[in-house]
Structure 1
Amino acid sequence: MRARLTLLVGATATLILLAFAIPMAILLKNSAAQEAIASAEQEGQLLTPIVSTGDVGRVENVVQTYNASGAYPVTVFWPDGTVTGEQVPRSNAVELAARGQSFTAETAGGREILYGIGLADGSAVVRIYVSDDQLTAGVGRSWLLLGAIAVALLAFGLLLASRFARLLLVPLNDLAAVSHRLAGGDLDARADASGPAELRNVGTALNTLAEQIKELLEGERERVADLSHRLRTPLTVLRLETEALRDRAERETIEQAVGEVERAVNAAIEDARNPAEAGTCDAAAVVAERVEFWSALAEDTARECRVRLAPGPLPVSLSAAELAAAMDSLLANVFAHTPDGTAFEVRLTPRYEGGATVDVADEGPGLPNLAVFNRGASEGGSTGLGLDIARRAADASGGRLVFGQGTGGVGALIRLELG
């Protein structure tokens, strides 16, 4: 943008300078020519009274003096055909001047200034010759000076344009940098309100927006933490009720489930208070651990759980807690939307470009509307938050969440691609 502004100013300045320089150059040329002609005319006017006397000898002496010391050659054509001064042929302009006229005529290599002087025996003609070099004497030097001034003015204009563009673009670059920092999650980034009034207004508006975003996120985190904290009371009651159960196996199963819920609640509070940075984990270990947990519920609901997990380690760009939450959401989706006894399968394979792919396929009724699921919504009265958790996990790792049909077109397939 700086180069474009400088180029724009340079083009504008060039047009303005040309608009003044070209007429000025023509004016200088015409002025030099007029000055030379005026000087020659003055010389002719001094000779005219002497020639009018008809004294050839006196005229010859004066003309010789002029030609010896003057800048412009002088010729006098007498009525009898004799020529005094520089010997040149009689041109048509001389013949016309012999009729008693005085004028300036163009000739080869310059101009001739002619004065017709009436004598007793006819008309004499005084011819003063001004060459093209004399007509343009000093014009080249004047044009060179004019060009130097124009170039200096253009350079000065470009320098000012570059400085102005720099002063304009520095605040713009700062605003862009602050915007990128905000987009990257640095909510403490603020712009300096500097530069022109318009840029200061933009900087102030950006800072106001950053403050509002920060306040909204902090308020949201507080609400999530408060809601999660409120769940601890019913969890405590549930744990106490579980301890009162006499069946040991049933008590251990429920205690394990309550422990998982409590772990999820604590993780939600911690994440709301202190948002976790991007991490890594071994997908093979996390997926195996979550499948083992859900396999107990699969046995209780008479579901066949087939597991095909690639050997680890399979590092992915996601923390263990986030991957565990994503797996829980996908497996819970199977139990929530398929009838008891429906078989399902969990597959874990490495990706060619790095990361891993987790497939959760079931043999249930399938997804009723793939288009809706691909937009992240849900049907059948579900909140759709489970799939959103899995989608956010995929996005955070640089992967994606894909929906489809199971093997042979039966059931549903949800693929979690992790980077």
Structure 2
Amino acid sequence: MLYSMFELSRLAMAPWRAAANATRKSLRSPWNPMGDTLAGRTMAASADLFESMTRNYGKPGWDLPTTEIGGKEVAVTPETIWSSPFCDLVHFKRAGAPDGQPKVLFVAPMSGHYATLLRGTVKTFLPDCEVYITDWTDASMVPISEGRFDLNDYVDHVAEMIRAAGEGVHVVAVCQPGPPTLAAIALMAEDGDPLRPASMTFMGSPIDARLSPTVPNKLAEEKPFDWFEQNAIHTVPAPYPGAMRRVYPGFLQLSGFMQMNWERHVDAHWQFFNHLVEEDGDSADKHRQFYDEYLSVMDLTEEFYLQTIKDVFQDHKLPRGEFEHRGRLVDPSKITDIALMTVEGENDDISGIGQTQAAHDLCSNIPESIRIDWVQPKVGHYGVFNGSRFEKEIAPRMKAFMKEKGRKA
């Protein structure tokens, strides 16, 4: 019912959005003298702000047409090399890329935002690496006839995509996928899979959410499991392809994230309004670029969301040695020859300090010589994988780690 009400309210706002768009365009027309007045700019800014706050944000494009290799600009073409109803493995093919560059597979979060949230991450690695990324599908777009998708399926998908990326790939799990990615790699290592990765990097991941618990961690533990079943799960309405599928809606996840930093978001939109009035186009465009991505959300299947809540955030099965994959116990100590790097942000309010570092304790048989732990000063959760400090301080360390510590194919 909540999902249907949300859709109805969004549709009800459509005429008002259209009116706001018309007002904005009229006031910004070079033929309208009122557009040059303070009153005109204020009205146009108000219409712009209203439209942006009530719009339905669809899945963003990758918008990475080129990169620079050896001082030369080359074309980049995203291509799907492996696919299931719930995920595509995207390879960013670079024209004329030299042989021998590292292959890097980014396991993107499946926690409400699209994989394009890592656009900046991908962009930073494109000049030096063959980049692959898991592009998870919005559950509302998957017909119910395609069946279920739970945490076990997620582990299977990660393992299959590691194999699809090929021998010697370096795997980077960003945030949520840390535990299932570690599980997939541990199983591959125990099986002696020849396509197991050369290295694994975990960034801001809840490997052990008991350590330095944050607001989301505390919420998951304080609320009984039944509360999440009764309050977080809703049915996808028609005309979505996934109609009748039970999901955790992306708009609920987004509202939770927004409430965590409500004052910061209010201030950002107030500044956006002022930038529009002052005709500071560069600052306004930066705001749009961030929020066009941040406000684009996707649904998660009921079974995946609830199993993640239970196994990762309530029962802490992986750090307790109780995590099972289809009845098989997952043992990260079986990993012996895959290099390990962990990256955390000093001010991370999603995955607290120590949660990602816990991977080192679990992977007890990896030699010290191929381990690295890095805590980045002065960044929060988003800054762990995006932004200037990521580009200048974190990414160079990751690339050096992959080159120097990764197992040779």
Does TM, scored on the shorter chain, surpass 0.5?
A: no
Which structure has more helix as a fraction of its residues?
1
TM-score, normalization by structure 2: 0.21
TM-score, normalization by structure 1: 0.21
Greater C-alpha Rg? 1
